[in-house]
Amino acid sequence: MVKRFLLGAVILALIGAGILFWKGGRLDHTPRALSDEALNDPAWIERGAYLARLGNCSSCHSTPGKAPFAGGEPMATTFGVFFGPNITPDPEAGIGAWSADDFWQALNNGKGKDGQWLYPTFPYTSYARLSREDVDALFAYLRTVPADATPNVPHALNFPFNQRWLLRGWRALYFNPVGYRLEGEVGAEQLGKHLVDGLTHCVECHTPRNRLGALDPRRNLQGATMPTGWYAPPLTGDRTVGLGNWTEEDIVVLLKTGVNQHSHVAGPMAEVVLGGMQYAQEGDLYAIARYLKSLPSAGLDTARTGPAAETALLEQGRQIYTQQCASCHGDAGQGEAPAWPPLAGNISVVAPDPHNTIRLVLQGGFAPATSGNPQPHGMPPFGPFLNDQDIAAVVTYVRQSWGNRAGSVSLPMVRRVREQAR
């Protein structure tokens, strides 16, 4: 009886493994590519350039001071460090030897030209929503950028994540290559969802992930802490920590200029606006805004309240704020948009994760210089002359004043952010 049980268990395990193996290797069908004539058409190339900007491809595939799209940009994660590959038309280091079908397989099926499964840090899980025409337009554009022979940097991953064959199991659990694609006439909200979930891949930063790095669909766009420590706030209809108090126009203005009456962008989002969103067509921006405003509250406001700080800590923070911050941000944290963002009701200030506010106090910074805000005002770095206790006090003060009811900031939190910011 025991032997039969064990045999049955082995057979079931083999069947289960076989099903996972099959599911992990599923590929979507390959639609017919555009003709060579179309791939050389300036209109398709221009379309591809627009899509590359909107998708912020340069952020991962370009390294500051080096050739555009020549790769090498590191991306630190809990699994190790990934490096963006060279996607210039160099035949050896880049994608010059790739066909349009090879490029489609990578973006839609997560499979490289050499047949290897691609790690989902390349967001093919979002790009699978793109149409074949848009993928071909991207390919047509990338064939026109200057070729560069910079070799690719191998990923530096921890065991067992450096075992690429395990991706087949991950794909079986979390990836369906048959993406949602738009067909025919669509409304603004549907187009916005298509952009947010697909090309602009907002979901990749603003949605929490599980321990294997897969997006959690139950908490879609509910805010997430990124591997770099930056916090991507909720895009849901929650009125305090989300976009519930924002109008469609507020969202469009922020994406187009980097600032609005409620806040301004910083960190990775500043790169998104600088390199891509400021060039977006107005119709696409309003479609994104329409979709985001359709998202209901996720009940996040009720869970954001933290314990009130001790009176001594708040008093220390008030004194520092009065001396260093009030001249720009106002005695009541009201700010003066667009130059100095408000701190009262600012979704980054009251976020469950205080990383963004701590980091801005430590390092200072500017909103991105855009056509709508070409000379942004900057915030000086306070890290060099405020100690960690001072920063914990002042950030706690702004998170618990003027109606803000976010949690306190501890000394270890500030030390961790200071270390990450180095």
Q: How far apart are CA 21 and CA 60, in angstroms?
A: 30
Q: Is the dihedral of CA 25, 30, 36, 41 positive or negative?
A: negative
Place of tokens 């549907």: 190
What are the extents of the domains in the chain? 28-174, 188-302, 306-420
Question: Do 252 and 289 form a contact (C-beta atoms < 8 A)?
Answer: yes
| β-bridge mates for residue 125, sequence order | none
What pLDDT was estimated at residue 239?
94
CA distances from 422 to 66, 184, 348 (A): 22, 49, 21
Question: Do 103 and 135 form a contact (C-beta atoms < 8 A)?
Answer: yes
Q: Which pair of structure tokens corresponds to residue 114?
A: 């050499």
Q: How far apart are CA 196 and CA 36, in angstroms?
A: 30
- Which pairs with CB-CB distance under 8 Å and at least 24 residues apart come from 88-93? 88/142, 88/145, 88/146, 88/147, 88/148, 89/142, 89/143, 89/144, 89/145, 89/147, 90/147, 90/148, 90/149, 91/147, 92/149, 93/148, 93/149, 93/150, 93/151, 93/152
What pLDDT was estimated at residue 307?
75
Residue 376 carries which DSSP code?
A: -
pTM summary value = 0.91
CA distances from 211 to 216, 318, 384 (A): 10, 39, 36
Q: Say what angle helices 411-420 and 388-399 make with each other, to 10 degrees.
A: 110
Picking from 277, 284, 282, the residue whose alpha carbon sits closest to that of residue 256 is: 277
CA distances from 288 to 57, 284, 358, 417 (A): 19, 6, 29, 31
What pLDDT was estimated at residue 199?
95
The bridge status of strand 231-232 relative to strand 224-225 is antiparallel
Question: Do 394 and 361 form a contact (C-beta atoms < 8 A)?
Answer: yes
* Domain spanning 306-420: CATH 3.40.50.2300: no
Q: How far apart are CA 47 and CA 242, in angstroms?
A: 32
What pLDDT was estimated at residue 242?
96
Tens digit of pLDDT per residue, the chain (422 long)? 555 444 444 444 444 445 444 445 556 566 777 778 878 999 999 999 999 999 999 999 999 989 999 999 999 999 999 999 999 999 999 999 999 999 999 999 999 998 999 999 999 999 999 999 999 999 999 999 999 999 999 999 999 999 999 999 999 999 988 766 666 667 889 999 999 999 999 999 999 999 999 999 999 999 999 988 999 999 999 999 999 999 999 999 999 999 999 999 999 999 999 999 999 999 999 999 999 999 999 999 876 667 788 899 999 999 999 999 999 999 999 999 888 999 999 999 999 999 999 999 999 988 999 999 999 988 999 999 999 999 999 999 999 999 999 999 999 999 999 998 77
Picking from 25, 209, 48, 44, the residue whose alpha carbon sits closest to that of residue 123 is: 209
What pLDDT was estimated at residue 46?
97
Question: Do 398 and 404 form a contact (C-beta atoms < 8 A)?
Answer: yes
What pLDDT was estimated at residue 27?
61
Chain length of the chain: 422
Reported in sequence order, the residue ranges of 95-223 that DSSP labels E, i.e. its strands, are: 156-157
Q: Is the dihedral of CA 243, 331, 367, 47 positive or negative?
A: positive
Q: How far apart are CA 414 and CA 289, in angstroms?
A: 34
